[in-house]
Structure 1
């Protein structure tokens, strides 16, 4: 299995103390964590994108440019590029720039986003979010893969003989599709033979497994090579302590604060995947995707989910409201105590020499010969 550190760059105040992290400090920690993740042997570092709420990831390509300049080996990614909101021409330009700056260490994840307020903010109709996603994705593919592009669509002006610059570092970089609540994303990925990343953050595993299973069925139905049907999985937060009981008690204030904050948003109860299905930290640890516990328990949980999902990539996130030293301690313990336990049981060809679609500049060690 491969491992990724994801930061969506949430920046709400502490739910207990009310203290807020200054934006400059919060953004610097993103860069610091990317450097640490590379040092610890994580395979990938991803930055999210949101344009509403208490989040600082409205310009993920700027952040990734800084990460590219501060690292030399780790693969860079997005989590997700909210392609429904964006002009594919600018996306191609911006992300190819990151690809060049990193010398070919970029792969991206695209999606429609999980924040409804982004659409009116940017003057778009949320009822057309899937139409935007499909059209923008197909145009982005054309722009990354070729020059002198002529194109017509429904939601933006046509193009005549367009070439975006810079070009990608070594041909078009791989595009993954973020999957959270609907079949649309996994069907789009399967149609084009692309991999997916399941959010696996807020709902019971069954809600995500049905989408993963449908993806694999559709990928095969479209006649694509199953070797390329890679699956990634998110998680419901990461926190480690010597025992699971200690981890639960220490993480409880932050988890309860998260639930209160979600409740305060007053989401439509019918809106699936907007708030956690697990009201207590005990429930999240016992039945949900939260990776909270001892290193041994967290490794067991990843393997348990792997038995359901068969995923190749595990993405994790640490809560930014922990003390910076504690955030680093959690990441270090995860890399040193959890990852080896999982990798002893699960292998993958993802990003190895056998994965011919991997990012051209990715030079991670520890490649393994076959998928589990």
Structure 2
């Protein structure tokens, strides 16, 4: 927890006034609205629209897991079955449902490295025509999801196969990233690998990414597939992170695959792995495969286990902070980056606002309404003038996860 705090925590300073004078002894509460990094689910390879909808609805039971990614939603072969004939109805329906349920959607990959994932009409084109078709699709796809997705995986399946690079060369990604960036400014461009099972694969992937960067590809991050053993301790994750750090780019861990048999100790290992990933400053998000979070082999995706995992993460990282202002009307909280609601006062004297916490911290000024003549001041909470405990001291006593 100390490493997570060192990587992501900042000070939130709240000053409370009444009639333009500092108000001492006023209770102040800070609670999370949304985390400053992506936590959510990677929905795997299903292309069935009803199944995707069912998964989204079943997963929309938690507050912290607010991001989602599906590699089939923007699949080139489905969206452009014939040259320049675009079908985006299914994409738009999925994006609309995700927004309705409160999810942020990470799109892509726009193009896969694997030949079998390309449209049938494109795979056998001459090299020049294939390059033109790939770049055209990159422009069209990026333009279509502009404003709907915070990030776009431009090229995926690296490591599983290298067919596209072998046909068209490493500079294809540079051109794709440029074309996507021209029509979707503000959308982060990622390059993705399906899964890194060990250090050797991670080493090869790092060299590949560095080759892309050296070719001039303007990338905003890596979409990195990793695995976590839930049935035993495994140090592989830590070793892979050490290697991938050399690429020098922000990391979205997607998919984060859970391996083994899930039980109580498995949930704790998942929590420990999440904390390990969040202690790495370059990790911007974690999207888990939810299959391992099923409850009692239900056909529907989880509610119980996902909620329990969210509860563990919330108790570790996002407990509500409560303290009272000092004689200068101020109180400070050590909190993780994200959107927080700050509320001061009690009963009818309450005021509230929301604030985005970033690396440099934030300051909030709240003005309480004036007391009416003859009315009593609001009661102060115990511990007036004390400072809220930092995240590392805020874990529940019965939370037995390790402090990695």
Mark the structure with the bigger radius of gyration: 2
Q: Looking at both structures, which has the greater relative contact order when contacts are Cα pairs under 8 Å and sequence separation is at least 6?
A: 2
Considering fraction of residues, name the structure with more strand.
Answer: 2
TM-score, normalised via structure 1 length: 0.47
TM-score, normalised via structure 2 length: 0.44
